[in-house]
Amino acid sequence: MNGEFTGFCSQYYNLTERLAKENAYLQKFLDNAPFYKGETQLSEIDYILKYYRKTQEVNMAVVKTMDDLNKTAKTILAIMRHFEIPSGTVLHGVVEEEAEYDIWADESSQVHIAKTKQLAPEPDAENIITIRLGESTNVFDDEDAWFPK
């Protein structure tokens, strides 16, 4: 079982990973955005409108993740200040079955994190199902519907 500070640091790691994926997904939406080019069929305009609504939804997910990341960083900084951990002190953490990471705060109270080692998940044993629980958003479901191959 992880302790409270480890939990916040691992959450920060997970949020930075999620933010990177969400930003890449948003960029893909922006790069493939359809533009109105004089279409006269309502269904074509509806598709453009639906695409832009979906893009707004994806952007809102990015904004929420950034907000969660900032709140978590503030908590980490408060704990570091409470224990008088000097800026630049590199702390080491592990996200079980995923990665090892280093986390630190700089002189301007910015939290930084870097993955130092990818941990291979344990091989799946026959007849064992692994379920990961976590926050889920429907924003990233059915990517193929928006980006045909």
pLDDT at position 126: 60
Query: What strands, in cross-sheet order, belong to the sheet with 99-105?
Result: 91-95, 99-105, 111-118
Report pTM: 0.77
The first and second tokens of residue 63, run together, are 């904004």
**In the chain, which stretches have pLDDT less than 50?**
149
Question: What pLDDT, in 10s, does the model give residues 2-41?
Answer: 689 999 999 999 999 999 999 999 999 999 999 999 999 9
Calculate the alpha carbon distances from 145 to 43, 102, 139 in Å. Answer: 16, 38, 12
pLDDT at position 97: 84
